[in-house]
Amino acid sequence: MEYFIGAIVLYILYRWISGNSRSNTIKDPKTRNTQSQISEHRASTYASSSTNTSSISSYDSADDEFATFTIQTSYGYESEKSSNKQKGRWIGDSEQLTINGRKLDKGLFYFGGVMKSLSGYEVEPSLVDETRSVSKPPLDSSAEIYTDESLGYWPSYATLSEGCKGTYLDWLASERSNPNIPIGYVFIYFYGLERRVIESNTTSDVSDPEFIAIFDEVLRLNKVFSVNRSFNRYSSHLLELMTLLRPLLLASKVDEIPETTNAFSFKIKLAETVVKEQSVGAELALAWLKNTIEYSLKMPARRCEEEFKQLFEIRFTQKFGEGIPVKPNKTKLRLSYNPASNGIHGVDLTMEELPDPSILKGPINKLIPIAESCTEELASYSRYLGKVETSKNDIAALMLLPKELVNESNSPVIREFKKWAEQVIEKQDGLTTIKEFWSHTGMPFPKAINKKENELLTNLASKANIGIAPDQRFHQAKVTVDGNIVLFTPAHGEFFEPSIAFNQVSLAMRLGAMVATIDGYVDQEEKFALQRLVDQDENLSPSEKNSLKAYLIWRLNSPVNTAGLKARIEKLKTNEVEFLKKFMISIALVDGKVDSSEIKQIEKLYTSLGLDRSLVTRDIHNLTSSSSRTFTSSESTDTSANTFKLDEGTLAMHESETSDAKTMLENIFAVDDEPEVEIVSRVQTESDGLDDAHKKLFDTLLSKETWSRNEVHEFCSKLSLMVDGAIETINDWAYEKVDAPVLDDDGDIYVDLEIVEELKG
């Protein structure tokens, strides 16, 4: 008995399930909508989206019980059956109508009560039915544009609310150019243009003048609403389709079509190039990358499109020269047009005379590494531009560009900086202040010159082929916010590597400058003596001498810094200390005289370095008496004056005692020890500022870099969120944290992984 009852229950459940399945099934094998097509739709572009969904199922009649599948699609409100029995018709470009109190001076749309969509289901979404209820025209033309949830994923005039119908008619009665109109209204209008073009492929109803008028209107709409990437893509594709349907008629207009992905023109051009046995050049190679399903351009490539293009062409040419040879494949070229309207089937165009090399993976695998390299080179630049209130003309932005993309010829900012720098070099011997230099960056003056600020200084100078001293990379010294800097030209150059002689002479010059500036005044003889250290060293290259002379000017015009030197000198051997004193006194006496005030300054220097100040007079006597030159002195009651001419041999430290002396200088002047002033900007790792729903969505999106629109919509539906609003909320939160958006909406949704890392801190 129990078995019998169980069988009855199972049978009833089976009949109930199968009955429901059949009642929701549309028995038409031509059902167009597929999950992949839906996910590619421009649902992201609407001001609001509908949560009303209906199920459309397709099945194989040979196995109607078990071979069903369900596709979720979205419409606006359910449409009420119209009382209008008038057959829908096309309104020509110059035809005028008055509809529901609105006077329309221009046509190019369908009008009436009865017209099925080309797919055979539902009413034609662009059909304007004057019998449907609609709001009154606004009294004030400047009134806020009305919109609500009835303007859904695939909007249809029949399913719009009264308010939305009224707004759409108001827009049709205008010049149809308001860039602030929600894009859903524009798409309803576009659906009609799209249908008219596709119908013309099977009928002869559309004349050539009307075909051109539609082309011009779609092109006009593209220019007005191109900021919406989805509309830009769909309208560009329709323009391409029109040139293929009537190539002779529109031959002169082909160049006006905006560039887009999945372009017919790309596939045709690639096929023709391969058939002609021509190599694929840099421009076509980049178009291949943009149009392949094997690779997706990352955020830097999309945000910095023009810079990526330039850099890709440079890197491609460096690697492949004139191009990559590609052999024709056997697969024939087939072009598929996917309409924006859900009331139209796709259009396939087969071009039997051409192959389809766009499907080949081999060439793409050669291009991907170049694209990845260019993306990496532009990552910092892209990241900067993602922040609020930034511009490509900012010095900070220019400094982040690869060197091939910015120079004085193509950047007014660099050109003006170089003009100023060359005047400083000519009129001021290159000497200027950090504050004056920084004023040319257009950025707020920093509290300290740390690594980031120092890199900006050196990068800006190098872009204009200007060198700076001190350059921390070569001179082992740092600049300060209230200090000086010296400019010179040409710059160090990309491949500059300081030699051992460069390092040793620069250290000797530091010690010499310390002596020369001890009394607050630099005698010209002291300066010339130190310059001779550079000029007479045959081991220095011209670029090294240029750099060291600038470094000397900076040292002679900067405060003496003896921090840490005393402790290092204490570790020197006796002979090293004697050489150090000999060198200092040689510089001090190079002007040929010494008086009591100068002796006192040398004594102060001895003291600051931890040396015995009482030995100054003895050391001066020992040096002068050992010289081949005559030393005379005259004494008065309180002052002594000595006359001493130092021979060049005394200063030729690179020719005698070189090994021990230079090693000693390197030991005491290794690196400046000024600590950096750290300005720490902590970013909390927790998602404070996001409510639970948005945090869950954000955490879900972090699992991969690219999401289809449909996938994000499904996540949002489960969390009771609207896609556009959720993206805006998350990006606003990211702006507050790191001044940059973390999500990019381009039909598909992209996650900027660099910004994610920055948010994590």
The owner of tokens 């599948």 is: 69
Torsion of CA 661, 664, 670, 674, to 10 degrees: -110
Going from the C-alpha of 497 to that of each of 294, 505, 547, 574, the distances in angstroms are 42, 15, 12, 33
Q: How far apart are CA 181 and CA 224, in angstroms?
A: 11
Averaged pLDDT, 727-746: 80
150 in Cβ contact with 119 (< 8 Å): no
- Pairwise CA distance, residues 424 & 432, whole Å: 7
Residue that has been written with the tokens 């010296």 in this structure: 486
Q: Which residues pair with 377 in a beta bridge?
A: none
Region 383-387: mean pLDDT is 84
DSSP string for residues in 510-561:
HHHHHHHTTTS---HHHHHHHHHHHHT-TTS-HHHHHHHHHHHHHHHTS---
* The pLDDT value given to residue 47: 38
pLDDT exceeds cutoff 60 at 273: yes
Q: What is the pLDDT of residues 323-346, one digit of tens each?
A: 999 999 999 999 999 999 989 988
Are 606 and 615 within 8 A, CB to CB?
yes
Going by the DSSP 8-state scheme, the letter that residue 145 receives in this structure is P
* Percent of the chain topping pLDDT 90: 38
Look at 138-142, 535-539, 556-560, 614-618 and tell me which has the smallest mean pLDDT: 138-142
User: Poorest-confidence range of 80-84, 169-173, 647-651, 750-754?
Assistant: 647-651
Predicted pLDDT at 77: 53
Phi and psi torsions of 432, nearest 5°:
-150, 180
Reduced to 3 states (helix: H, G, I; strand: E, B; else coil), residue 691 is: coil
Q: Tell me the DSSP string of 709-753.
A: HHHHHHHHHHTT--HHHHHHHHHHHHHHHHSS-SEEEESEEEE-H
1 pLDDT band, cuts 50/70/90, is low
The top-level CATH class assigned to 692-760 is mainly alpha
pLDDT score for 706: 84
DSSP state of 135: P
Residue 686: both structure tokens together? 């927790």
Give me the sign of the Cα torsion angle 68, 73, 76, 81.
negative
433 φ, ψ (degrees, to nearest 5): -100, 155
The pLDDT of residue 69 is 33
Mean pLDDT of 674-685: 37
The pLDDT value given to residue 466: 92
CA pair distance 191, 110, nearest whole angstrom: 10
- Average pLDDT of every residue of the chain: 79
DSSP string, 478-515: ---TTSEEEEESS---TT----HHHHHHHHHHHHHHHH
Give the β-pairing of 109-111 and 89-91.
antiparallel
Q: What per-residue confidence (pLDDT) applies to 664?
A: 62
Q: Does the structure show a pLDDT above 80 at 34? A: no
User: What is the spatial distance between Cα 471 and Cα 27, in angstroms, rounded to a whole number?
Assistant: 77
Most confident of 246-255, 407-416, 668-677: 246-255
Q: Collapse the DSSP code of 332 into the 3-class scheme (helix H, G, I; strand E, B; otherwise coil) and give the result.
A: strand
Residue 184, pLDDT above cutoff 70: yes
Q: Is the dihedral of CA 210, 215, 220, 221 positive or negative?
A: positive
Query: What backbone phi and psi angles, to 5 degrees, belong to 446?
Result: -75, 165
pLDDT score for 590: 67
pLDDT at 431: 95
Whose tokens are 């099945």? That residue is: 59
The identity of residue 69, as a single letter, is F
Q: Which of 101-115, 385-399, 613-627 is modeled with the greatest confidence?
A: 101-115
Q: How many CA atoms lie within 13 A of 319 on its CB side?
A: 18
On whether the CB atoms of residues 384 and 395 are closer than 8 A, the answer is no
Q: Which residues of 167-180 are buried (b: 16+ CB within 10 A; e: fewer)?
A: bbbbbbbeebeeee
Q: Which amino acid is at 139?
A: L
Residue 125, pLDDT > 80, answer: yes
* DSSP string covering 577-590: HHHHHHHHHHHHTT
pLDDT of residue 591: 63
Is 165 a residue whose pLDDT tops 60? Answer: yes
Residue 386 has pLDDT above 80, yes or no: yes
**Alpha-carbon gap, residue 138 to 145, rounded angstroms:** 10
* 301 within 8 A of 261, measured Cβ to Cβ: no
Quick one: pLDDT band at residue 531, thresholds 50, 70, 90? Answer: confident
H/E stretch holding 699? helix 692-701
Between β-strands 743-746 and 484-488, what pairing exists: parallel, antiparallel or unpaired? unpaired
Q: Does 139 score more than 80 pLDDT?
A: no
pLDDT at 13: 52
pLDDT at 574: 77
Rounded Cα distance between 474 and 550, Å, is: 12
Residue spans of beta strands (DSSP E) within 281-405 = 332-337, 347-355
Cβ neighbors of 588 (< 8 A, separation 6 or more) are 515, 516, 518, 526, 594, 598, 601, 602
pLDDT, position 604 = 75
Q: Apex CA 199: angle with CA 198 and CA 200, to 5°?
A: 90
Environment class of 13 (CB within 10 Å of its CB; exposed 0-12, middle 13-18, buried 19+): exposed
Question: What is the structure's pLDDT at 4?
Answer: 52
Question: What per-residue string of b and e applies to 531-541 under the rule 16 or more CB within 10 Å gives b?
Answer: bebbeebeebe
Which pLDDT score, from 0 to 100, does residue 509 have?
79
- Longest Cα–Cα distance of the chain, Å, equals 139
Measured from the Cβ of residue 16, the count of other Cβ atoms closer than 10 Å reads 10
Confidence at residue 605, expressed as pLDDT on a 0 to 100 scale: 75
d(CA 718, CA 82) in angstroms, rounded, equals 34
Residue 676's pLDDT is 40
- 467: enclosing H helix or E strand: strand 467-469
Q: Which of 516, 544, 564 is nearest to 669 (CA)?
A: 564
Residues in the chain: 761
Lowest mean pLDDT among 174-183, 479-488, 649-658: 649-658
Domain ranges of the chain: 2-74, 89-256, 264-382, 395-442+448-488, 500-668, 692-760
pLDDT at residue number 21: 39
Where do the DSSP E strands lie in 7-129?
A: 53-59, 68-74, 89-91, 97-99, 102-104, 109-111
Interval 153-182 mean pLDDT: 94
Q: Are 200 and 347 in contact (CB under 8 A)?
A: no
Under the banding of pLDDT at 50, 70 and 90, the label for residue 221 is very high
Asked if the model's pLDDT at residue 653 lies above 70, the reply is no
User: What is the rounded distance in angstroms from the CA atom of residue 489 to the CA atom of residue 492?
Assistant: 8
Q: What percent of the chain has pLDDT over 70?
A: 77
- Distance CA(217)–CA(212), nearest Å, equals 9
**348 residue type, one letter:** D
Name, of 61-75, 82-96, 528-542, the range with top average pLDDT. Answer: 82-96
Rounded average pLDDT over 280-305? 92
- Judge whether residue 662 has pLDDT over 80: no
Calculate the alpha carbon distances from 150 to 50, 600, 620 in Å.
6, 91, 97
pLDDT of residue 44: 39
pLDDT-based confidence at residue 68 (cuts at 50, 70, 90): very low
